[in-house]
């Protein structure tokens, strides 16, 4: 007959063996679960669209932090341990981050919800498309107008195309001495063509002193006709040409010309699609608006 001591020792050894067996099973199961699997990532502009073929910038990182994998290609094939990740894709001005859960090997579609838009500018209703360099600045739309903190990006060209996340934006086109803003909407997978009408005319400026043309360098300033809260005219454009021809939006302006000790000031009205000619008479010691 076994002693109580022998029975206790047997039970202890049995419990220890079972515990060791369970630890081995748990460790093996954990290691198996953490085994990396092959995953192919591809991106689409909108749900149901075909995979994008452009080179995309990919950043794949564990959701809880850790080392990120970076790629620049249309599609990415890599090995990942099952778990939660955040995938960031950048194309042109669109940067989109999406959560992705990896459970097994296979394909992962990332829906970017992006669209594209092209911009062109015309000087007036009857004017042809301006084919010179235009600076286009894109901002996220805000009711109070464009804010520097909401700037998305900038591109230069007469008719550029940009890719943006779905949403509302303000596009500011700056050409020569003038600029114009346009509110635009971008929807996923759709291409837009926007036209900015400057409603502009032209103005040719000349300066004279005692009825004779002024020779040499002349500093021209085009100012808003109305004063701001500080009581000053805002400076819209400057030129050092002796006789510039400027494109200006339809409206009223103050034109200031300075050449050495000579200065002069005159009012200017510009009509859409027309060219105005203005001669400013300069005199010595004349007081003119300084602009701001």
Parent domain of 192: 114-197
| pLDDT over 80 (residue 252) | yes
- H or E stretch covering 19: helix 4-33
Give the tens place of pLDDT for each residue, 116-173: 999 999 999 888 999 999 999 999 999 988 999 999 999 999 999 999 999 999 999 9
The answer to whether residues 60 and 100 belong to one domain is: yes
243 found inside a domain: yes
Domain count within the chain? 3
Token code pair at residue 20: 């060791």
10 found inside a domain: no
Q: What is the mean pLDDT of the chain?
A: 89
Average pLDDT of the segment spanning 50-55: 96
224 found inside a domain: yes
The answer to whether residues 206 and 152 belong to one domain is: no
How buried is residue 286: exposed, middle or buried, by Cβ count under 10 Å (0-12/13-18/19+)?
middle
> Which CATH number do you get for residue 132?
2.60.40.10
Of 153, 178, 186, the residue nearest 235 (C-alpha): 178
Give the tens place of pLDDT for each residue, 77-105: 999 999 999 999 999 999 999 999 999 99
76 found inside a domain: yes
% of the chain surpassing 70 pLDDT: 88
For position 178, what pLDDT does the model report? 87
Residue that terminates a domain, selected from 197, 226, 251: 197
The answer to whether residues 127 and 103 belong to one domain is: no
The answer to whether residues 184 and 226 belong to one domain is: no
245 found inside a domain: yes
191 found inside a domain: yes
8 found inside a domain: no
The answer to whether residues 185 and 213 belong to one domain is: no
- H or E stretch covering 271: none
17 found inside a domain: no
Average pLDDT of the segment spanning 190-205: 94
The answer to whether residues 118 and 107 belong to one domain is: no
- Specify the range with the lowest mean pLDDT, choosing from 2-6, 207-211, 214-218: 2-6
Spatial contact of 130 and 175, defined as CB atoms under 8 Å apart? yes
> Which CATH number do you get for residue 240?
2.60.40.1120
For position 32, what pLDDT does the model report? 44
The answer to whether residues 170 and 145 belong to one domain is: yes
Residue that terminates a domain, selected from 88, 111, 134: 111
pTM for the whole structure: 0.74
The answer to whether residues 124 and 102 belong to one domain is: no
The answer to whether residues 103 and 130 belong to one domain is: no
| pLDDT over 70 (residue 59) | yes
Of 165, 127, 168, 199, the residue nearest 43 (C-alpha): 165
Residue that terminates a domain, selected from 153, 168, 197: 197
For position 217, what pLDDT does the model report? 87
């Amino acid at each position: 007959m076994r002693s109580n001591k022998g029975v206790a020792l047997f039970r202890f050894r049995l419990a220890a063996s079972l515990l060791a067996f369970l630890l081995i099973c748990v460790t093996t199961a954990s290691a198996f679960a953490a085994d990396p699997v092959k995953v192919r990532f591809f991106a689409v502009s909108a749900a149901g669209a075909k995979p994008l073929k452009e080179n995309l910038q990919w950043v794949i990182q564990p959701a809880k932090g850790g080392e990120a994998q970076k790629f620049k290609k249309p599609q990415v094939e890599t090995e990942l341990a099952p778990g939660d990740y955040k995938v960031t894709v950048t194309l042109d001005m669109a940067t989109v981050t999406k959560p992705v859960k990896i459970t097994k090997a296979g394909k992962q579609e990332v829906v970017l919800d992006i669209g594209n838009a092209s911009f062109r500018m015309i000087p007036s209703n009857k004017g042809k498309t301006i084919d010179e360099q235009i600076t286009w600045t894109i901002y996220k739309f805000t009711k109070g107008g464009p804010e520097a903190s909401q700037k998305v990006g900038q591109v230069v060209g007469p008719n550029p195309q940009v890719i943006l996340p779905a949403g509302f934006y303000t596009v500011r086109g700056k050409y020569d001495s003038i600029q114009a803003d346009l509110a635009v909407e971008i929807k996923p997978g759709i291409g837009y063509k926007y036209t900015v009408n400057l409603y502009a005319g032209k103005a040719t400026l000349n300066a004279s002193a005692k009825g004779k043309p002024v020779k040499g360098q002349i500093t021209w300033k085009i100012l808003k006709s109305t004063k701001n809260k500080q009581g000053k005219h805002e400076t819209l454009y400057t030129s050092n040409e002796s006789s510039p021809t400027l494109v200006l939006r339809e409206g009223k302006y103050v034109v200031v010309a300075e050449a050495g000790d000579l200065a002069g000031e005159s009012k200017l009205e510009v009509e859409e699609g027309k060219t105005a000619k203005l001669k400013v008479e300069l005199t010595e010691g004349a007081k003119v608006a300084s602009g701001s």
